[in-house]
Amino acid sequence: MLVSSPFGALSLLALASQTLAAPAEKRFSSNEVIYIANCASGQPEDVGGVAALYYSNIANSHNLQSPDSRSDLIKAPYPDLPQVEGTTLKFQFPDSNVSFNSHIASNGGSLSTGAAAGDGDQLVNHNFNKKFSCFKDNGDLLTSSNDGFGHTATCNKRYYCRPHRLANMKTPTISLVATLCLLQHASADAFWLVNWSKGSDICSGMAYFADNNPSGSGNRPNDYVDVSPHGQNVKWEGHTTTGYYPSSKVTFKAKIADGYLSSGPGNVWGTAVQYSSNGKKYFTCYAPAYAGNGNVGYEEIYQVDGWSVHGIFECSASYAGSVPGWTDPQ
């Protein structure tokens, strides 16, 4: 309900006039969306800045409508725009006690429209409230308004962020510092290359587990990132796939050999490397022991709100400290 939203400071008129929201897309936990946009006043020599625009229903953002709430503008020294990629931007919504911290990957600007580009944290009274997954947008006009003096203020879409079911799992809270330490130092940790599905909706991702092996336990990961656009699975075999965890600034790259699907389980089928502020950490990727018999690598390892998450490969830390023959992907 709108009245319980962190952006609930909407007028009674807005509440009375709002039509019944369409059901949330299957992949996301609600219809909400936050756009990261370039906004300018339209006045001469104003290059503008970057703002976050919140819509309680994404359907209301498709026809140049005004947002339910808009953050203060973040500006850079003239004539530049603020850097969005590879940094954390903190957007404050002046009409509420809500803020939004975005973490967009450093290569976000070169990604294709719809590609996973990072994540964001919604905070209420400076306390974490909800995790959003962010995706590259197409640069189109999101909303505009006239100031009555011949100037048209505009906002153009750079990224859109949605509350993600997998990102908002009800798991024990882990601080950013603790998560970073786990990713960089744990000796029993593992990254699972996963495909998830619910009906016809699909996606691929990388799930990080501090306890190495979730098979059969139903344990949910300590961190997760999408590696494919909505409605697609990546082809793990014969490719290098990269996942970036913005909150810890960890990158994980996995190379899986081609021909895996015609081979048996339990063997080494790839190598991987984790890049962090502490340097590199090497991993070896295995076909899970339960693979085979026409169901290669697709055993369900955990569920989230009815979504089935299937482990395709398990990448465990290499106790030799390196992987022979590894060439770091460019």
pLDDT digits (tens, 9 = 90+) for 68-125: 999 999 998 877 888 999 888 999 999 888 999 998 988 899 999 888 888 888 888 8
Q: Which residues pair with 202 in a beta bridge?
A: 197
Q: pTM here? A: 0.51
What is the average pLDDT across 294-301? 58
Token pair in block for residue 273: 């490397």
Neighbours of 60 (CB within 10 A): 17
DSSP designation for 110: G
The answer to which of 17-31, 57-71, 306-320 has the lowest mean pLDDT is 17-31
Residues 6 or more apart whose CB falls under 8 angstroms from that of 304 comprise 165, 166, 169, 196, 220
Give, for 190, the enclosing helix (H) or strand (E): strand 190-198
Which DSSP string do the residues of 267-308 spell out, in sequence order? SEEEEEEEEETTEEEEEEEE--TT--TT-TT--EEEEETTEE
Q: Is the pLDDT of residue 306 over 90?
A: no
Phi first, then psi: give them for residue 169, nearest 5 degrees: -65, 145
For the chain, the C-alpha Rg in angstroms (whole number) is: 21
Is 254 within 8 Å of 241 (Cβ atoms)?
yes
Task: State residue 41's pLDDT score.
Answer: 85
pLDDT band at 294; cut points 50, 70, 90: very low
pLDDT tens track for 179-235: 333 333 334 678 889 988 888 888 899 998 876 555 555 678 888 888 888 788 888
pLDDT tens track for 231-246: 888 888 888 899 998 8
pLDDT band at 139; cut points 50, 70, 90: very high
Q: Is the pLDDT of residue 67 over 90?
A: yes
Question: Quick one: what percent of the chain has pLDDT higher than 90?
Answer: 22
Token pair in block for residue 222: 């300590």
Residue closest to 138 by CA, chosen among 156, 155, 163, 119: 156
Return the domain boundaries, the chain: 2-163, 176-317
